[in-house]
């Protein structure tokens, strides 16, 4: 049995969230949900996540999982909101603890313990889980961050930020714990899957000289042959050199500071102060 997959594209952050369901039982998972954030007004909303919940309700789907591919640096996670609305279990790769340690210290977030306890399920490489009658497998795919995982469910694999569409390439590796060589090896692991495996990416950005429409579904075979960074059998050393040079030119993600404060807390906002007000911290000259 293969999953039914519905994609939700957030134009503000170029993020793709997925509603993955078992057609036999109506059980479902949400992958990488977005909590809307207006940086000018410093205001959050749940509009994007509520759209996913509405579709699930309309189709009679029961959301059992919220699956995070990693702690995102470009959007806030709505995992906590979906857990509160549905009782779903939040899963993430076990090495999220390293990211919690790094950024918990940066934000002096005393409530964040670097043990992953705020998440419900810490996945090990090769661990399996079920969505109704579907079986999922967790693939540890570090490189973009040390905690990145991909989820293989039926004939599909959800790769987060590890790979983008073939005409856009691969993820950056200049975050704490990132590693271009590790990313290359993670990608090779994904490219070793059957070539007709459907691949769903976590973001899309339209190339300057390419297509006009956003896209997020490709195949392992298309990535093997056409990915502009790794397609056609590019050697590891060549990839690392190119990826490192490219990373040196990239700007810091605009939402990195608010995103990581929320995402290391499994999508929860920082705890309220004595006044009842919640605050996001902006450590100066720290990034």
d(CA 36, CA 44): 5
Q: What is the mean pLDDT of each run of 10 residues along the chain (287 residues)?
A: 96 98 98 97 97 98 98 97 98 98 96 97 98 98 98 98 97 96 98 98 89 95 97 97 97 96 98 96 91
Helices (H) and strands (E) in the chain, counts: 7, 15
3-class DSSP state for residue 110?
coil
What does the pLDDT read at residue 286?
87
Half-sphere exposure of 180 (CA within 13 A, CB side): 18
pLDDT for the residue numbered 210: 77
Q: Is residue 286 part of a domain?
A: no
Are 286 and 176 in contact by the 8 Å Cβ rule? The answer is no
Residue 278 forms part of a structural domain: no
**Is 107 inside any structural domain?**
yes
Q: Is residue 111 one of the residues assigned to a domain?
A: yes
The answer to whether residue 86 is domain-embedded is yes
In the chain, how many domains are there?
Answer: 1
Contact 255, 34 (CB under 8 A): no
Please return the burial class of 287, using the count of CB atoms within 10 Å of its CB with bins 0-12, 13-18 and 19+. exposed
Residue span of the structural domain in which 79 resides: 4-253
Q: What per-residue confidence (pLDDT) applies to 190?
A: 98
Question: CA end-to-end span of the chain, whole Å?
Answer: 45
Is 263 within a domain? no
Distances (CA, A) of 203 to 7, 65, 189, 236: 11, 20, 20, 24
Per-residue pLDDT reduced to its tens digit, 150-195: 999 999 999 999 999 999 999 999 999 999 999 999 999 999 999 9
Is 112 part of a structural domain of the chain? yes
Nearest one of 217, 222, 159, 227 to 189, comparing CA atoms: 159
Is residue 207 situated within a structural domain? yes
Rounded Cα distance between 275 and 71, Å, is 29
What single string gives the DSSP state of each residue in 141-198? --SSSTT-EEEEETTEEE-TTSB--TTT-B----STT--HHHHHHHHHHHHTS-TT-E
**CATH of residue 70:** 3.60.15.10
Q: For residue 135, what pLDDT is reported? A: 97
17 and 204 Cβ atoms separated by less than 8 Å: no
């Amino acid at each position: 049995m293969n999953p039914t997959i519905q994609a939700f594209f957030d134009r503000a952050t170029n993020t793709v969230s997925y509603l993955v369901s078992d057609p036999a039982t109506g059980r479902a998972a949400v992958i990488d949900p977005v909590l809307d954030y207006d940086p000018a007004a410093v205001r959050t909303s749940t509009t994007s996540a509520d759209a996913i919940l509405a579709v699930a309700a309309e189709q009679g789907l029961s959301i059992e999982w919220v699956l995070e591919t990693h702690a995102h640096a470009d959007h806030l996670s709505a995992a906590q909101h979906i857990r509160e609305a549905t009782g779903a279990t939040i899963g993430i790769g076990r090495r999220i603890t390293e990211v919690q340690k790094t950024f918990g210290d940066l934000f002096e977030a005393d409530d964040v313990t670097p043990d992953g306890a705020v998440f419900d399920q810490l996945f090990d490489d090769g661990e399996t889980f079920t969505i109704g009658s579907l079986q999922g497998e967790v693939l540890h795919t570090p490189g973009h961050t040390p905690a990145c995982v991909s989820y293989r469910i039926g004939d599909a694999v959800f790769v987060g930020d590890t790979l983008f569409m073939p005409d856009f390439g691969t993820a950056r590796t200049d975050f704490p714990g990132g590693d271009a060589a590790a990313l290359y090896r993670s990608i090779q692991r994904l490219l070793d899957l059957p070539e007709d495996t459907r691949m769903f990416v976590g973001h899309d950005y339209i190339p300057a000289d390419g297509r006009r429409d956003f896209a997020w579904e490709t195949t392992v075979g298309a990535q093997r042959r056409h990915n502009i960074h790794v397609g056609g059998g590019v050697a590891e050393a060549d990839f690392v050199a190119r990826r490192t040079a490219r990373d040196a030119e990239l700007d810091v993600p605009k939402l990195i500071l608010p995103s990581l404060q929320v995402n290391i807390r499994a999508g929860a906002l920082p705890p309220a102060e004595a006044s009842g007000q919640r605050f996001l911290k902006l450590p100066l000259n720290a990034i």
